[in-house]
Structure 1
């Protein structure tokens, strides 16, 4: 839609001016009259310039984080619960926003509301800030007139989701550092250590053990063709990234992640906790089961599990019960299926889903606390194997030479 520059006088006779987006000048006049202002002049203009629209500003500006959206949800709940008009509330949030980028997002929400859009439609203009689940829940709040309650539940949901991701990152930080250190150590040994031993081995004028010859060949290839290895790794990373971003690749990758020996069960339980929490939130907000499953499948950040949730939705649409579709999906444990059966029969499925989410959260919390203890034996085994190969390859010829000298 085009933009219009306007001048108007409010009820006190004060001159106001600004820019609005609307279908035509009549729509702009209606918006101004609706706010109690009398239009004086309305002319077509260009879209208003955004602050910090330069290339350097766009590259260096801080992105909107999940914490910004979480605090915004809590503040919106407080304002709406107190009876503050949404436009006045958004104006206050824009002025007090710590993040300049999020302040511009709030300003755009105000302008979109001024143009006659609904809040969910205004938020849809910022897909990188508000995900599909957030938009769907705001839409439900608008339809049911309980937007304040929805905002509070979204705040709790974002708090849980952020806490879960933070704990996972904290748990895998130590193993990641150990693996990186091992890779760097292997590279240094191949580039600088083994070539020094090669000069010593050449003075033996004897046949070297197989392990030593393998290490020397590996070292020579690394020294002479390190750039080939680097290009191959970068190319493999780009190919893998492109494959994972494709629909089929994402599906296979996410399904493979669930089969990892230790991390797979953590990913699965964490995702199912997010599913149960989201389903309970949708159900309590008055969303029909079919629509709730559609909305919840968008919060499950695993393509394969999302596909199973979609199959549950299709089963419910055909008239099957939640329990039957859950059994067919094959992603729930027998205990969870029993709780779903009780919740469906008693009509308190949302409460039981909350219990399921808490159960999964406790299991994830235990798995994360013991993750380092589970990974340490594997890391020690890999480290021991690497040291054994280096010891056999480097010191075995020296040991053989010393033994021959003694005889």
Structure 2
């Protein structure tokens, strides 16, 4: 549910404004109408104070896919939308989805189309799904569309898991390395420092440097933590600036090893999304526009926007892609062939399958490459600190 600020007029003609809590703007207007208030203007309050707090995703991907599969099965069995929605509401255990389905059932009983009813809950039902369902309503193949979308979101989830799996290892090892380094410098090195000073003698330059770093860490650990948090905050702030955000996205694609992996994942998602939309009879201009919003990388978004403009002018979809480095020749050639032969959706599907396979292989290679590199990296850091402790101990043993 959300809060809405409204302006209206009572039956007595008196101006009225205030706030109301409802599941959608449509429901808020209905509630106010029942109270004798004619609404002139209504807007959702998006500030933190007026938002419901949810921890994690409103609907887990697994629950979402099951919901779509069940919906498709019920519609294919000849059950009406209202009955199917009621059955799914009873079966689902997700609180947010259950509440939404109850309201959707009401909207359907009022004569509203399913796609329009879903737009009342944008946080639960993505724009892509709504567009596909609208296409299914027009073509009379809603059950097939729902089943296809279940497969699509399944693939998207698997794609996301591949990326997470590939990138988790270096991130975890990196954090462990930082933790071990700080622990050694803050707690272990000081113990040996006191021992070295008690024995006297000269401390090697390398060891003295490590001891100095240890003293800085002990005295200013909070500054190091603050700098880390500040860097994260600055990055988040800069991401809101279009020019800098675009630069960051270019940098991500240019990173050695990881850049190619990210590029393949983006190409797989783009071609898969565009193929699903076109296969469901969504007009190509609308399909490209929706795909542009689905893709998060601004480099690819910009090229898709240029392709959309090219299509509006009667030119080729592949044209702007052929002149940009983010799209390999394989992709642009397949799209160009698909446009000439009238089988663009099939060609995009082939490209999506190819890059999904490429992503599987790249994920395995990335893990096999990163693992030894990260082990050597961790061993080098720990070994450097240990050597700073061991070197002066030889001098101490000689003096004894």
Equivalent residues of 2:246, 2:299 under 8 A apart: yes
SS of residue paired to 2:384: helix
Shift of 1:58: 5.5
2:393 equivalent in structure 1:
398
CA displacement, residues 128-163 of structure 1 (integer Å, 9 cap, x when unaligned) = 212222222223223333322221221111010011
What is the CA-CA distance between 1:205 and the residue it aligns to?
A: 4.1
Match of residue 118 from structure 1: 113
Structure 1 counterpart of 2:228, from 233, 254, 274 = 233
Residue 130 of structure 1 is matched in structure 2 by 125
Report how far residue 287 of structure 1 moved. 2.0
Shift in Å at residue 359 of structure 1? 0.4
Unmatched tracts of structure 2, length 5 or more: 7-25, 38-49
- Compute the TM-score of the two structures, normalised by the length of structure 2: 0.81
Distance 1:118 1:246, change over 3 A: farther
> Which string of whole-angstrom CA distances, capped at 9 and with x for unpartnered residues, describes residues 207-247 of structure 1?
43332222112111111122222222222222222333444
Q: C-alpha deviations, 1:225-283, integer Å up to 9, x for none?
A: 22222222222222222333444443333322222222222221111111111111111
> Are residues 1:176 and 2:171 paired?
yes
Alignment of 1:198 onto 2:193: yes
Aligned match of 1:332: 327
Which segment is superposed worse, 98-107 or 376-385? 376-385
CA shift, 1:87, in A, is: 1.0
Structure 2: distance between partners of 1:326 and 1:389: 48
2:180·2:382 contact (CA, 8 Å) conserved in 1? Answer: no
In the TM superposition, what is the alpha-carbon distance from 1:305 to its structure 2 partner? Answer: 1.5
Partner of 2:67: 72
- How far apart in 1 are the matches of 2:246 and 2:223? 31
Residue 198 of structure 1 and its aligned partner are, at CA, apart by: 1.1
1:138–1:151 contact (8 Å) kept in structure 2 = yes
Q: 1:82 aligns with which of 70, 77, 84?
A: 77
Question: Considering only CA atoms, is the larger Rg found in Structure 1 or Structure 2?
Answer: 1
Quick one: distance in 1 between partners of 2:243 and 2:102? Answer: 39
Q: How does 1:244-393 map to 2 (within 5 A)?
A: 244-393=239-388
Q: 1:62 to 1:333 in 2, by over 3 A?
A: closer
Distance in 1 between residues matched to 2:183 and 2:111, nearest whole Å: 63
Q: Does 1:140 align with 2:135?
A: yes
CA distance in 2, matches of 1:90, 1:245: 39
Aligned residue among 82, 90, 95 for 1:95? 90
Q: Structure 1 residues 63 and 389, CA, compared in 2 at 3 Å: closer, same or farther? A: same
Change (3 A) 1:386 1:82: same
Q: How many pairs does the alignment contain? A: 363
Per-residue deviation, 1:335: 2.5
Q: What is the CA distance between 1:59 and its match in structure 2?
A: 5.4
Question: Contact 1:211–1:392 (CA<8 Å) still a contact in 2?
Answer: no
Would you say 1:163 and 2:138 are equivalent positions?
no
Q: Is 2:58–2:124's contact at 8 Å kept on the other side of the alignment?
A: no
Deviates more, 1:58-67 or 1:280-289: 58-67
Label 1:252 to 1:107 Cα distance change in 2 as closer, same or farther (>3 A).
Answer: farther
The answer (yes or no) to whether the contact 2:322–2:332 under 8 Å persists in 1 is yes
Aligned partners of 2:133 and 2:146 also within 8 Å: yes
Q: Secondary structure at the match of 1:208?
A: coil
Say whether the 8 Å CA contact 2:307–2:318 is kept in structure 1.
Answer: no
Contact 2:184–2:385 (8 Å) recurs in 1: no
